[in-house]
A and B are shown apart, each in its own frame.
Chain A
Amino acid sequence: MIGYTLPTVLSVIAVAVLELAVLRTGLFRKPAYWISMVIVLGFQIPVDGWLTKLSAPIVIYNEEHSSGLRFPWDIPVEDFLFGWALVTAVLLLWVKQGQPRSPADPGGRR
């Protein structure tokens, strides 16, 4: 589990820390973010499911490095953590740039 499970868990922690301690964009409090995550998840399942299906896999995982848990279909559960960290990190940087630079800004105007 060292090669995939561990780094995915660490990546989730790193992204959460990036937001909560460094960027502080408030993204996790925005309904738009969570609605987007549900939509992204809805599309990840067919796309990732196609890439990882054991009958004709495009990406082949070495099971020594993962938990071996695959759900739904043959998707390694680690993929969902990996995907969350990837898209959330990009969204955080995107939202950060859309916010006013000044710390004096009261925020929450939208």
Chain B
Amino acid sequence: MSRIVGIDLGTTNSLVAIMNGKEPKVIADREGRTLVPSVISVDEQGWMVGERAQQRLMTHPQSTIYSVKRLMGKGLTDVQEERKYFPVSLTEKQPGIIQVELGPYRLTPPELSALILKEVKHRAEEFLRTKVTQAVITVPAYFNDSQRQATKDAGRIAGLDVLRIVNEPTAACLAYGLQKKKQGVIAVYDLGGGTFDISILKVKDGIFEVLATNGNTHLGGDDLDQRLMELVLQEIRVEFGQNLQEDVESIQQIRLGVEKAKRQLSTEEVTEIVISLKQGVVYRRPLKRSELESKVRDLIDLTIGPCRQAMEDAHLSLKEIDEVVLVGGATRMPLVSQLVQEFFQKTPHSELNPDEVVAMGAAVQADILAGGIQNMLLLDVTPLSLGIETMGGVMSVLIPRNSTIPTNAKELFTTFVDGQRSVDIHVYQGERELVKDNRSLARFQLKDLDPLPAGMPRIEVNFTIDANGILHVSAKDLRGGREHSVEVKPSYGLSDDDVLRMIEESFTFAKSDMEARLLIEARNEAATILAHTERALRRAEHLVAPEERGRIQDRIIDLKRSMEENDHRLIRERIEQLDKSTVHLAERLMDSTLQNGLKDKKLSDLP
């Protein structure tokens, strides 16, 4: 039976987990590492993901990318803030679709995320010794429709059937519910690498009902690092008179240096930032925990507003919260748990590994969908209100935020002009009064209406948000009762055709990656054999007849020629031919080596 895996596709790290009997288990690599750094790099041999790609951040910053999640479901204008994080060039393929330039390739964020998904999928396949085709993937609870859709597209491009998109804090709560048997009202505070979520859940007899969720998709550990980087850059300018703002290699050095110091300060009171710059210059600076805290406190304070709003939306007072759970690597900072404790007036829990708990929850949800766990059910909500544009650019809310999903709303549409043949519906997500302040999701067009006097057509449009938090629209002509066609133009992200093309391309990519690797391996092997043979010929000059020597020389020339072609099969063939031609030489050489070797030894020295 094929297994459904749970994947946490994180900003900084990704993980894959499965249900192992009754327990979720995060799959580790041979070295025992569970985290796959969400870093992608490319060279002439092909793509690299994870540790290997991460090592290239400093050596090849222009062909390496990280934090791709920050770009998912966005247009170029949305990521002006983010651009300073990325040493690579970002362009827009068409409005609403970002392209990342990496070496000779230009890829969209879903294609890049698909490379990470393939890596973790591969990891799971090695562990399970079977193909993996179905997955549950987690996203921040506060992700909008476009960001969720982009994640689903990434799954499809990676060859995965994404059975469910689950919200990260909810997944964490499922893991806690299963393993720690937590019940009652639970607040999950999730501060990850790039996003913040707060979710309030009511857990009762196996039902995990989300009451409210809120968050900030532009706030996480990366932003704290950014603060420290600004400090270090400033100090380097003063101390060494160097402006490194545009120096991508040094920026990566600094990024890794401050990140390490930040992590150390979660357990130590004081640490040292050490950064080796170019020309042997070393920047060193002691950093106290209190200093770090004063630099980032305002950022962590930004999480309190969403917590307050979530409590209000859940109609709960702080007294009614039974448990507070911390999720995400950034919650390891003592200042974070301190502020959470101050706000909720309760000691927060983090018994389960905050890096792994989301992936574990995804595996739990995968098992629920597979029919394994039968007494647990997750009822999640949509984080943002869904509405349509009405007269004067006003947002008319159809589905309020924090509605349990799936959910739907019906709206009746008609025409304003006699004979009007189509009606445009512009759908938005957000909490503001005017659509211009909200996020455009898509334009829907009801086409081929019967030409009737204004106001006569009656088209009922059904807006459904599925259990993934993704919108579907269908329309029915109430006069005829027939289904009406709806043309969808997503405002951000890929069309279905784009995704299909990328799935195909990813196969050819994989194939050409493989071809390239085989070619390089064959060339390397040929070079080794050539070196050996040439050396042997020199050493055994007196042992081979001239005509044998000439035959070998010809084979050498043949092999060298084949190495200039791009056909690994031809190289292999020539290697074999050369091998055959040197069998005799090798034998003679072996004999003589043996004799030489024995010359200076006594018999008693031999084993």
Q: Is chain B a partner of chain A in the same complex?
A: no
